[in-house]
Chains A and B, each alone.
Chain A
Amino acid sequence: MACTGGGSNAMGIFHPFIEEDVDLFAVEAGGSGMKVTDKEALHSATLCSGEEGILHGMHTKVLQNKYGQILESSSIAAGLDYAGVGPELAYLADTGRLKPCNSMDAEALDAFNDLCRLEGIIPALESSHAVAYVKKAASTGELGDVVVINLSGRGDKDLETVMGMRK
């Protein structure tokens, strides 16, 4: 279970498990909703809703409009706020090897608070998306007995954002 923007931490943790009998979840940023206009997306969920394109030298999935203009993506987590995704992840999603899913801004914030309160660990807002998805998926039965969350970053850097949201 790993948060996925461009997907570097996700691909890092998935890589040793690709050939193993392990479910892989790429948790993208659902932002404030899956709505998309001609210019912007309220989310950054490229694996979930992007289309084939070319961005920054990669042939991958891209958030774009019908003319190929790149959409302005959105997320509470700056590290997930990207209109593209690593091509290896796009491939694994297309072949069905990994499951693309997403957590909304508000869900990530809740998960951030939970982990701070219950474990004394401040997760990065990016990683909080993965924690949030585990919370949701725990009740739907799609998870096995052992779940690994890649807590890819610490949230000290995000305290200002989170405190600001609380006011």
Chain B
Amino acid sequence: MKISDKFNELKKKKKGALIAYICAGDPSPDATKEYVTALVRGGADIIELGLPFSDPTADGPTIQAGIERALNGGMTPDVYFRTAGSLKVHIPLVVMTYYNIIFKRGLEKFVKDCAASGISGIIVPDLPPEESGELAGFCNKNDVDLIFLVAPTTTDERLKRILTEGKGFIYLVARLGVTGARADVAESTRALIKRVKTTTPKAVGFGISNGKQAAEIIRSGADGVIVGSAFVDIIASGKDVPARLEALAKDLKEGAAQG
């Protein structure tokens, strides 16, 4: 499913989107299939499936640990695409990974593998827009969205470029630093949502962990929330994981929907 179709569908219902991140292969490829199903049951609108990279510079301790579990569990790009291709979900899938994984596989092959395994978007936190032309070319050819990140420190000049070239949705980084669950919503987050003016959907990530925050973000003008660490925390605990993933997704989705 295309990302834009999903956002259009939600827009008609006046609901915010829940984009749920987990790291593929954490702690095993089979577990990932079960967990994705649980997130979808809980109401996730888009699944952001991390493809683990050994040096995840944008991720905090929670997701770093998840990535390590996944790598130790034998996750590789080959296994990743097999796993993604075997997921029976009817919502958009997005891959989040780092540029060296894509570069090493070959840009064109990577994008084609995405298209072939039902992945409709790519997020690469360590690829600046200025260097993204080649990958964007292959994405356009294969109808895969290249999603860019905007941080509170993004300059106006770069923001302009991102808003022109960004596809799928614009990933607003709620705060400086790395990923990780936080208790509150920062003032800078609201300021960023206001600053980014575009018809492309805006989704906010980094630090969101409950329905109350999700509602606040949507109320501030975002079209979706991205939640990762809070889910990965549940996976790390190893206790009652599918049920708790579903319950948290439900809480977040209710927040996003009423916001």
Contact = CB atoms under 8 A, between A and B. Distances in A.
B105 interface: yes
Interface residues of A, number: 12
Interface in A43-87: 53-57, 62, 64, 66-70
Contacts of B105: 67-68
Q: For chain B, which range describes its interface: under 10, 10 to 19, 20 to 34, or 35 or more residues?
A: 10 to 19
Contacts, number: 38
B101 A68 contact: yes
B103 A53 contact: yes
B77 interface: yes
A23 B216 CA distance: 63
Contacts of B155: none
B82 to A, nearest CB: 14
A55 B55 contact: yes
- Interface of B, secondary structure class, is helix
B56 to A, nearest CB: 10
Contacts of A68: 53, 77, 100-105
Contact of B57 (A53, A56, A64, A69): A56
Nearest to B53: A69
Contact of A67 (B57, B77, B126): B77
B99 interface: yes
Given A68-B105, A70-B54, A70-B55, A53 B100 contact: yes
A83 B101 CA distance: 15
A104 B104 CA distance: 29
B102 to A, nearest CB: 8
Interface in B92-130: 99-105, 126, 128
Nearest to B78: A67
Contacts of A56: 55, 57
B71 interface: yes
Given A55-B55, A56-B57, A67 B103 contact: no
A45 to B, nearest CB: 19
Interface in B1-41: none
Nearest to B97: A68
9 contacts: A55-B55, A55-B100, A67-B105, A68-B53, A68-B104, A68-B105, A69-B53, A70-B54, A70-B55
Interface of A: 53-57, 62, 64, 66-70
Interface of B: 53-55, 57, 71, 76-77, 99-105, 126, 128
Given A56-B55, A66-B104, A70-B55, 6 more contacts: A62-B100, A64-B104, A67-B105, A68-B100, A68-B103, A70-B54
